[in-house]
């Protein structure tokens, strides 16, 4: 069993499996969240986009080309934008083979199906609204699906859900519609800009190369909309040395493709 499964004491940063345990299974698939679960990790991250017919699906890129067999199935539909395909068309694609033959048949999940599996696994979700400028009104759609799938209950809101985006506009839209959701801004706002972000973001999620101890301390000094100090989660940390470095800077969370490597680097005691 992993240290996490064995329940040994750990009080380091929250470890979030980026796009699921994407170092080991095809990113943003149910297989990737199951792999995180088997490794003993509670938190998974995903990316949400919207199909032509308005379904929310879990995929990182705004095109289907890198992580599915769309080019073979629909050779004349370049550049294969997610938003140009229906949910049914996307559901028929293979989203696993690119990662290895043993993953053949993995699918691009709908957000609804994905939430159901995260719940089933007793995991928590860092949900990224990806490329919102391509999908006007996607925030409303995300909130509708979260509500319908039972993810806006007090229990989920308290412990199980964080919504993040690189877009301040998108995050603000989420916050103003549902101020009870924990929100995170992806990026590294200057210290001078932090008060503005603290009005709608509970957390700041900067890239690993952009932070210093001074920056982490500066972020912690501000309180977010829920009157708690802003938390800092950094990404994407895939090696032991970087995991130790960012932990020493005082981050609250680490987003990683290889959660077991990060956890192993940080020890259990
Ligand atoms: O969670 C942080 C990270 O997911 C942001 O970058 O490109 O992997 O979505 P990206
Ligand atoms: Ca992401």
pLDDT tens, 237-246? 999 999 999 9
Query: How long is the chain?
Result: 269
The token pair that represents 109 in the structure block: 């999940």
Closest CA to 182 of 252, 112, 120, 259: 252
In a mutational test of the pocket of ligand 1, which residue from 66, 125, 128 has the highest number of ligand atoms less than 8 Å from its CB? 128
Q: What is the structure's pLDDT at 9?
A: 75
In a mutational test of the pocket of ligand 1, which residue from 44, 47, 125 has the highest number of ligand atoms less than 8 Å from its CB? 47
Which pTM value belongs to this model?
Answer: 0.96
Centre of ligand 1 from the C-alpha of residue 235, in Å: 7
The token pair that represents 20 in the structure block: 């699921």
Q: What is the structure's pLDDT at 6?
A: 57
CB 163 within 8 A of CB 127: yes
Centre of ligand 1 from the C-alpha of residue 17, in Å: 11
Residue 152 CA to residue 257 CA, distance in Å, equals 27
Element (DSSP H or E) covering residue 240: helix 240-248
The token pair that represents 72 in the structure block: 């073979």
Query: What domains are defined for the chain?
Result: 13-62+109-266 (3.20.20.190)
Is 18 close to ligand 1, i.e. is its CB under 6 Å away? yes
Q: What percentage of the chain's residues is helix, strand, coil (to nearest 5)?
A: 40, 20, 40
CB 23 within 8 A of CB 40: no
The token pair that represents 33 in the structure block: 């969240």
**Which residues of the chain are modeled with pLDDT < 70?**
1-8, 268-269
Alpha carbon separation from 234 to 98, 167, 206, 250 (Å, rounded): 27, 17, 5, 11
Residue 85 CA to residue 93 CA, distance in Å, equals 11
CB 112 within 8 A of CB 148: yes
18 carries an active-site annotation: yes
Centre of ligand 1 from the C-alpha of residue 214, in Å: 23
| Farthest CA pair distance, the chain | 56
Alpha carbon separation from 218 to 160, 239, 255 (Å, rounded): 26, 26, 20
What mean pLDDT, rounded, does the chain reach?
Answer: 96
Residue 159 CA to residue 184 CA, distance in Å, equals 14
Q: What is the structure's pLDDT at 2?
A: 56
Q: What is the structure's pLDDT at 269?
A: 45
Q: What is the structure's pLDDT at 267?
A: 84
């Amino acid at each position: 069993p992993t240290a996490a499964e064995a329940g040994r004491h750990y009080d380091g940063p929250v470890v979030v499996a980026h796009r699921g345990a994407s170092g080991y299974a095809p990113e943003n698939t149910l297989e990737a969240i199951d792999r995180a679960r088997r490794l003993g990790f509670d938190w998974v991250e995903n990316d949400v986009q919207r199909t032509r017919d308005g379904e929310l699906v879990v995929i990182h890129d705004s095109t289907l080309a890198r992580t599915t067999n769309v080019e073979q199935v629909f050779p004349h539909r370049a550049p294969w934008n997610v938003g140009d395909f229906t949910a049914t068309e996307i559901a028929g694609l293979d989203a696993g083979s690119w990662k290895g033959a043993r993953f053949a048949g993995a699918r691009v999940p709908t957000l609804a199906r994905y939430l159901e599996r995260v719940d089933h696994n007793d995991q928590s979700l860092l949900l990224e609204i990806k490329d919102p400028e391509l999908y006007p009104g996607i925030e409303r759609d995300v909130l509708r699906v979260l509500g319908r799938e039972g993810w806006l209950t007090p229990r989920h809101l308290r412990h199980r859900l964080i919504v993040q985006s690189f877009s301040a506009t998108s995050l603000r839209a989420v916050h103003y519609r549902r101020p009870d959701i924990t929100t995170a801004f992806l990026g590294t706002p200057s210290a001078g800009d932090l008060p503005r972000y603290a009005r709608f973001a509970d957390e700041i999620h900067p890239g690993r190369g952009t932070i210093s101890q001074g920056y982490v301390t500066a972020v912690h000094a501000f309180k977010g909309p829920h009157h708690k100090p802003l938390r800092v989660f950094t990404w994407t940390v895939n090696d032991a040395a970087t995991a130790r470095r960012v932990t020493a800077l005082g981050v609250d969370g680490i987003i990683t493709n290889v959660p077991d490597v990060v956890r192993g680097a940080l020890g259990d005691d």
